[in-house]
């Protein structure tokens, strides 16, 4: 695997995970805009559906960051180190 392939793979992973966050975030925003009554419903005393979904949006952002870091540590960094050492793997 050469540097171009490694870079392309990194970009694919980053764009995929970024797309997930963007879709989740804008879905939340559109839900707020077009169905505020549902978002305002209480699921527990002092906890509305909007607050719960907002926390889930943040959780998705953290989760996608964790997935990217884990992937980069396991795959990307290994390939970059191999390329720096002058070796390549088919």
End-to-end CA, the chain: 6
The Cβ of residue 79 has, within 10 Å, a number of other Cβ atoms equal to: 19
- Express each pLDDT in 18-65 by its tens digit: 999 999 999 999 999 999 999 999 999 999 999 999 999 999 999 999
Prediction pTM value: 0.83
- Of 28, 34, 33, nearest to 59 by C-alpha is 28
For the chain, the structural domain boundaries read 3-84
Torsion region of 76: left, alpha or beta (phi above 0 gives left; psi -120 to 50 gives alpha): alpha
């Amino acid at each position: 695997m050469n540097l171009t392939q490694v870079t392309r793979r990194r970009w694919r992973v980053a764009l995929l995970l970024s797309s997930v966050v963007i879709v989740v975030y804008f879905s939340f925003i559109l839900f707020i805009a077009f169905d505020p009554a549902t978002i305002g419903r209480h699921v527990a005393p002092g906890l509305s559906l909007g607050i719960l979904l907002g926390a889930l949006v943040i959780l998705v952002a953290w989760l996608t960051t964790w997935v990217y870091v884990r992937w980069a540590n396991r795959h990307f960094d290994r390939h970059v180190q191999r390329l720096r050492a002058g070796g390549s793997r088919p």
